Structure 1
């Protein structure tokens, strides 16, 4: 797999892969919109100096994605900034080959070059395969977000 920085010309394919991520995550969150759901502002990620959006290609076809974004950390933490990893996706046909690890390594190296060495990402608590992959890369569970949908009573 070749890894390179994403370009504006990649946006149509990235939008397809974004929808693949959304479909894969629907079983974990019934509140995801049925139509027109989007996670990422791809043009903004491409143009933001604090973001690094990369793609993995095989024979010129994009089969993996990921981005790192340098964000301000919460005031109570011992680091001022952290790298947030998102849009971590590998086409199902290419999973289990360590490609996600390669993408994460490249993203974390980019952050390290900017003196950022703490990393966070979001993963659904029931997504056992993804959690296992992130733990293999050294991540540990840190915070569990909880949600509640409570309909407003009809008057």
Structure 2
């Protein structure tokens, strides 16, 4: 395994990040029958890069971007104990770099940023039937708290 470095994403990374976004969509389409057809866009990537309340990072190996993820400061519900929390999103690792603990490096960096912002909790969304992702997040310390359910009518 080559050395992996973490850095803040910038607009020069846009083309690679757009490709990663389609990788996320492709991985999630078989898991979610409610996703639309054709090319889908989940993220406004330039906005994620520019926002002050978002820490968007990439993992780099030999000058190649191989993974990404972000943490965003979100307001919690008024009845929850922490007024704000960090929300983790757009976690993606290129297929030929998976299994090298790169997502752990990204999650550690996002967690450190959230601590610097005095946040007390992190949250994320993951498909319940995405077993490998659920296991990876659980091994990092996340726990399931709520199941979101849907139906066609």
**Residue 31 (structure 1) aligned to one of 29, 34, 44:** 34
Is 1:137 paired with 2:150?
no
- Give the drift of 1:117: 2.1
**How far apart are the structure 1 equivalents of 2:102 and 2:77?**
31
Name the counterpart of 1:111: 114
**How far apart are the structure 1 equivalents of 2:6 and 2:123?**
21
**How far apart are the structure 1 equivalents of 2:10 and 2:103?**
20
Structure 1 or 2, whichever has the larger Rg, is 1
**How far apart are the structure 2 equivalents of 1:127 and 1:51?**
25
**Local SS of the residue matching 1:56:** strand
Instruction: Please list every run of at least 4 consecutive aligned residues from structure 1 whose deviation after the TM superposition is greater than 6 angstroms.
Output: none
- Give the drift of 1:36: 2.7
Under a length normalisation based on structure 2, what TM-score does the superposition of the two structures give?
0.96
**Local SS of the residue matching 1:75:** coil
- Give the drift of 1:31: 2.1
Name the counterpart of 1:121: 124
Name the counterpart of 2:78: 75
- Give the drift of 1:9: 0.8
Aligned length in residues = 150
**How far apart are the structure 1 equivalents of 2:76 and 2:140?**
21
Question: How well do the aligned residues superpose, as a CA RMSD in angstroms?
Answer: 0.8
Under a length normalisation based on structure 1, what TM-score does the superposition of the two structures give?
0.94
Name the counterpart of 1:93: 96
